[in-house]
Amino acid sequence: MSASAENPRMCGLIAEAYPRDAAKFAARAAGVSHRTAEAWTTGRRSPAADVLLRMAARCDRMAAALQRNLDARTAAKAADPRLVEAVAGVGGGGDVANEKG
């Protein structure tokens, strides 16, 4: 996933989980500084996968937001694998396990 395509996606995910005071609540859930969380909420940076999982473990709102995004991706892939790119907002669309070569 490219950084330019990934950051707006993560920004939206965090905003979905924390509609008010996103940086404040994201920082608490992730155990990072407010400044780091602000970089996520503005799209300058993205949290690592392990950080997202930590946030989901600590916060039901983040877990629900992640689950909704995964469900949307799964539904799009089931309907038409080419739509995964549009839902994910990035190119590539396929799973690493499904790639050949």
pLDDT in tens, 49-78: 999 999 999 999 999 999 998 898 888 888
Instruction: Say yes or no to pLDDT of 86 above 90.
Output: no
* pLDDT score at 94: 46
Is 66 among the domain residues? yes
Instruction: Residue count of the chain, please give it.
Output: 101
Is 101 among the domain residues? no
Is 78 among the domain residues? yes
Is 97 among the domain residues? no
* pLDDT score at 79: 83
Q: Domain range holding 87? A: 3-91
More confident residue, 101 or 9: 9
**pLDDT category, 84, cuts 50, 70, 90?**
low
The whole-model pTM stands at: 0.68
Is 70 among the domain residues? yes
Is 96 among the domain residues? no
* pLDDT score at 5: 54
Number of folded domains that form the chain: 1
* pLDDT score at 83: 63
